[in-house]
Amino acid sequence: MQDCFSSKDRFIECYKERVASQFGHDFEDSYPVERYQALGSLIRDYAGHNWKETKKAVRRSQTKQLYYFSMEFLMGRLMTNNLRNLGIYDVVQEGLADLGIDINEMESLEADAGLGNGGLGRLAACFLDSLASLDLAGNGNCIRYRYGLFRQKIENREQVEVPDCWLRNGNIWEVWKPNHEVKVRFGGNMHAWMDHEGRFHSDYHPEFVVRAVPYDEPVIGYHTQTTNTLRLWDAEVDEDSVSAGRLNEYLRLVTQLTANVYPDDSTIEGKELRLKQEYFFVCAGVDQIIRSHLQTYPSLDNLHEKAAIQLNDTHPVLVIPELMRVLMDDYNYGWDQAWYIVTHTVAYTNHTVMAEALEKWPQDMVSRLFPRLYLIIEEIERRFKYELDHQGKGHLFPQVSILGQGQVHMAHLAIVGSHSVNGVAKIHTQILVNDVMASFASIYPDRFNNKTNGITHRRWLMYCNPQLTQLIDDTIGTDWHHNPGGLEALMPHVDDPALQDRFLAVKRERKVILADYIRSTLGIEVDPDSIFDCQSKRLHAYKRQLLNIFHVMYLYLAMKRDPGFRIRPRTFIFSAKAAASYVLAKEIIKLINSVAEKVNGDPEISRYMKVVFIPNYSVSIAEVLVPGADISEQISTAGKEASGTGNMKYMMNGALTLGTLDGANVEIVEQVGYDNAEIFGLRVEDIEALKRENSYNVWHIYEHNERLRMVIESLRNGTWDSDSNAFMHIYNDLMLRNDEFYVLADFEAYLYAQSLVANAYEDRRAWARIMLINIAKSGYFSSDRTIQEYAREIWGLTPIPFETTGRA
């Protein structure tokens, strides 16, 4: 088995044998899906060797491990990634070819695992890849949702949500581990008392019990032995826990628990099911950590020295009271020692400063669902208040309390109960420390730190853009594969005209691939020699897709009005899902598609521009879109985008960032310089001043800006839709609610920035130089750098020392 990939012929032999034994017929009689599943199982078994060795090495060397708790993992497809990380891609590709199979066909049979909303879930996936590739012991912990985030279709110019059945062809990577099940308890009654030593005792009768059963996936490092685990928990019925006559009700509750990824993109909906999901994977994950620890160590006294828990946003924050509960109630620790262990184990990552996106739950819901945890939260609050009073900081309490106005403030619980709180880009951390969490920063000045996000350069450059990778390798060698900072070695070559020409040829090749994709899926013809101007991310008012489409609308209207005004040909590409309940966002999708229809259907104007909305934005679509981009639109309202990671993917593939000074855009310009990015618009300080002086007035801008007025009027005069009310939410939001995200305020600056970019594009070699500089400076944004910082400064992780060199 272990030599199945040692040569092409050996692979073919193993593969045919596997198909025959798995499906009971000859290879020649097998179906594509069977061939795909057999290939998957062969690869997974092969990875099983290093998987086992990794677990043994961690246990033997007593290496500290990380547990990354995240409600979301946006993994995408794994076939290419796993074959390449294992170093067996070529053998498999050639073997399949001999059998008359195109490896791309096998790759495309894999479902895109979309267990997440967007950036936060994709970050978790990139982190897993970097952890394994850096030989760090890092486990992912999440839910095995039966359906991913909805699949988006566009019908009648509008978003329609359909289920994402990602498990239809099975999941070739997972292994069911029924012997690692955990019982998770909800609701019910608790009788509690203290004994004569002041120890807490309780008698708990839960209302609802499910079994959490894990499915493990190997996380394969790049050219290394390390193979970590992503553990996804499924809910199964607990036969002993159904009360008489309530079978159907019980089955429904169990099924619901792991049915869906919550489309909770920064608007918090008071949905009990979501809170149950959070506790479900927290409880199961904590139990796993405890069991695994006690297999190696005699007690939990040193848990914080051997395990680190990172909370990806507040969704898993119940880890804090749950771990307290286990230590005190199940293992007899006193409060102080338990608190020491918990707070030295747990660290928290904040992902947003938008007030409406900070998680809060009704106190009565928390106390009803988790009676014991709620008591612990109250005690955390009581002791925290005592400590503040004691330090003479009692006046801060109203701003930092965990419980208040009938709510549990999850971010406050996370900060009080962990030893590290990090933001995800410099500017975001500054806003946390100086503004949103300023009181906490004054109480715990050493707790706050920054870890600027990153993306794995393997998936987002080496694997999704082999053409560019080849060119870079030809120019500077392959050291950067292991050490992405090494991309800087491109800098001495950026002025080389021969390299610039070769680079432009590569970029064009990728634009042709993207154009082919657009033609074959949408039937729209786009010109690879036009500027590809791309904005792909979740649809949200603060991300300002509206500003982008306003520019398009302006160009269209201006060209219609004035036959002498013509632009350099451009293709505007959008891709974005909106939360199903987010009315304004869905109307913006309708506007983009309406403008697209009008523009593309106009024989005169469509020679100069096309507008494309690619449905169902996902990791697989990003992998085709990003390498073909010329311009990366990162135009959020300053202060609102915590970091962004899409901006890094585009930069790494050479696109020029057209953006505001927000999130990691700030660090992107820091790397490339203002000559190699186009920065425009209000900055955080400008917006603060406008708010302080209460001086922002959309009607004033409207009166004085004719170009903007033309665009706004077109929303209501039938230009884009025969129904003049079709875009009423957009109009009202801007003009009657005074444009919360400063779209109108930045309109003129954005148009100007766009014209500068168009001019810069004309000088092809100068443009190539800009793109090469972006690539050369993108190594900083590899998640390998991010993970090294977390490992050193928060987790205290060191690489797994393997005894055998074994198979790498």
Ligand X SMILES: *Cc1c(COP(=O)(O)O)cnc(C)c1O
Catalytic residue among 80, 345, 645, 660: 645
Residue 35 among the catalytic residues = no
Residue 481 appears among annotated catalytic residues = no
Q: What are phi and psi of 446, to 5 degrees?
A: -90, -5
Q: How far apart are CA 113 and CA 146, in angstroms?
A: 11
The footprint of ligand X on residues 740-769 (CB under 6 A) is: none
Among 131, 433, 622, 677, binds ligand X (CB under 6 A): 622
> In which residue are the tokens 């005069």 written?
717
Nearer to ligand X, 74 or 230 (CB): 74
Q: Rule CB under 6 A: say whether 221 interacts with ligand X.
A: no
Q: Which amino acid does the sequence have at 414? A: A
Determine whether 590 is an active site residue.
no
Indicate the residue among 79 and 619 with the shorter CB distance to ligand X: 619
Site string for ligand X, 107-126 (x = CB under 6 A): -----------xx--x----
Number of residues that bind ligand X (CB under 6 A): 14
Q: Which is nearer to ligand X, 74 or 734 (CB)?
A: 74
Active-site pick, 84, 306, 351, 570: 351
Site for ligand X in 74-93 (CB under 6 A): 74
Nearest alpha carbon to residue 412 among 397, 426, 427 = 397
Residue 458 engages ligand X in binding (rule: CB under 6 A): no
The single residue among 40, 285, 321, 644 that binds ligand X, judged by CB under 6 A, is 644
- 423 lies in the site for ligand X, by CB under 6 A: no
677 or 726: whose CB is closer to ligand X? 677
Query: Nearer Cβ to ligand X, position 540 or 777?
Result: 540
Choosing from 44, 412, 510, 538, which is the catalytic residue? 538
Q: Which residue in 157, 360, 649, 769 is the catalytic one?
A: 649
Q: What is the end-to-end Cα distance of the chain in Å, rounded?
A: 16
CB of 571 to ligand X, least distance (A): 19
Token pair for 376: 């612990």
Q: How many Å apart are CA 323 and CA 286, to the nearest integer?
A: 7
Q: Which residues contact 801 (CB under 8 A, 6 or more apart)?
A: 57, 61, 63
Which secondary structure element, helix H or strand E, spans residue 414, and what is its range? helix 410-416
For position 222 contacting ligand X by CB under 6 A, the verdict is no
Please identify, among the stretches 292-300, 370-378, 612-620, 749-757, the one whose residues bind ligand X according to the rule CB under 6 A. 612-620
Q: Which of 345, 469, 645, 665 binds ligand X (CB under 6 A)?
A: 645
| Cβ–Cβ < 8 Å for 114, 148 | yes
- Name the segment binding ligand X (CB under 6 A); options: 6-14, 261-269, 506-514, 617-625: 617-625
- State how far the alpha carbon of 467 is from the alpha carbons of 332, 496, 502, 678, in Å: 59, 19, 11, 26
140 binds ligand X (CB under 6 A): no
Q: How far is the CB of 722 from ligand X (least distance, A)?
A: 33
428 binds ligand X (CB under 6 A): no
User: What's the rounded Cα separation, in Å, for the pair 464 and 481?
Assistant: 14
Instruction: Specify whether 351 is catalytic.
Output: yes
- Cβ closer to ligand X: 147 or 335? 147
CB of 465 to ligand X, least distance (A): 14
Minimum CB distance to ligand X smaller for 527 or for 670? 670
- 400-437 in b/e form (b: 16+ CB < 10 A) is bbbbbeebbbbbbbbbbbbbbbbbbbbbbbebbbeebb
Long-range contacts of 106-109 (CB under 8 A, 24+ apart): 106/32, 106/35, 106/36, 106/39, 106/79, 107/77, 107/79, 107/80, 109/32, 109/33, 109/36, 109/169
Q: How far is the CB of 638 from ligand X (least distance, A)?
A: 15
Give the position of tokens 């109960």: 417
Closest CB 632 distance from ligand X, rounded Å: 9
- Residue 138's closest CA among 221, 47, 253, 35? 221
Binding letters toward ligand X, positions 514-553, x by CB under 6 A: -----------------------xx---------------
Closest distance of CB 527 from ligand X, Å: 25
In the window 26-45, what residues touch ligand X (CB under 6 A)? none
> Which of the stretches 215-223, 263-271, 614-622, 785-793 binds ligand X when contact is defined by CB under 6 A?
614-622
* Active-site residue, from 543, 551, 577, 640: 543
Could you tell me the smallest distance in angstroms from the CB atom of residue 116 to ligand X? 8
Check: CB of residue 565 under 8 Å from CB of residue 604. Answer: no
Q: What residues form DSSP beta bridges with 403?
A: 408
Question: Residue 656 is which amino acid?
Answer: L
Q: Candidates 217-225, 287-295, 584-592, 643-651 — which segment interacts with ligand X by CB under 6 A?
A: 643-651
Active site (annotated) includes residue 510? no
In the complex, what is the shortest distance from the CB of residue 30 to ligand X, in angstroms, rounded to a whole number? Answer: 32
Distances (CA, A) of 712 to 292, 681, 750: 60, 19, 16
Q: Which residue has tokens 């593969």? A: 15
CB of 122 to ligand X, least distance (A): 4
Segment contacting ligand X by CB under 6 A, of 177-185, 407-415, 615-623, 782-790 = 615-623
Backbone angles phi, psi at 591, to 5 degrees: -65, -45
Backbone angles phi, psi at 17, to 5 degrees: -60, -40
**Which residue of 73, 572, 617, 696 would you call a contact of ligand X, by CB under 6 A?**
617
Residue 618 near ligand X by CB under 6 A: yes
Q: Which of 176, 237, 116 is nearest to 619 (CA)?
A: 116
Candidate ranges 196-204, 616-624, 781-789, 790-798; the one touching ligand X (CB under 6 A): 616-624
Which residue lies nearer to ligand X by CB, 18 or 537?
Answer: 537
Which SS3 state, helix, strand or coil, does residue 709 take? helix
Which DSSP string do the residues of 338-393 spell out, in sequence order?
HHHHHHHHEEEE-----GGGS-EEEHHHHHHH-HHHHHHHHHHHHHHHHHHHHTT-
Give φ, ψ of 36 to 5 degrees.
Answer: -65, -45
Known active-site residue 649: yes
- Hunting for tokens 């919360």 — which residue is that? 740
CA gap 309, 453 in Å, rounded? 18
What element of type H or E holds 94? helix 89-98
> In the complex, what is the shortest distance from the CB of residue 454 to ligand X, in angstroms, rounded to a whole number?
11
Residue nearest to ligand X (CB): 646
Q: Which stretch binds ligand X (CB under 6 A): 187-195, 329-337, 351-359, 639-647?
A: 639-647
Could you say which of 388, 411, 462, 619 contacts ligand X (CB under 6 A)? 619
Residues 6 or more apart whose CB falls under 8 angstroms from that of 456 comprise 126, 129, 130, 133, 782, 783, 784
> How many CB atoms neighbour CB 289 within 10 A?
23
Q: How far is the CB of 645 from ligand X (least distance, A)?
A: 4
Measured at the alpha carbon of residue 408, what is the angle toward residues 402 and 410, in degrees to the nearest 5? 75
Taking the least distance from each CB to ligand X, the nearer of 122 and 146 is 122
Residue 622 Cβ vs ligand X, minimum distance, rounded to whole Å:
4
Q: How far apart are CA 704 and CA 62, in angstroms?
A: 68
Which of 148, 285, 454, 646 binds ligand X (CB under 6 A)? It is: 646
Closer CB to ligand X, residue 74 or residue 605? 74
- Minimum distance from CB of 753 to ligand X (Å)? 18
Of the listed 231, 304, 412, 537, which one is catalytic? 537
Two structure tokens written together for 277: 């999901």
- Region 648-677 residues binding ligand X, contact defined as CB under 6 A: 649
- How would DSSP label each residue in 100-144? T--HHHHHHHS--EEESSSHHHHHHHHHHHHHHHTT--EEEEEE-
**Interface positions with ligand X (CB under 6 A):** 74, 118-119, 122, 537-538, 617-619, 622, 644-646, 649
Catalytic residue numbers read 351, 537-538, 543, 645, 649
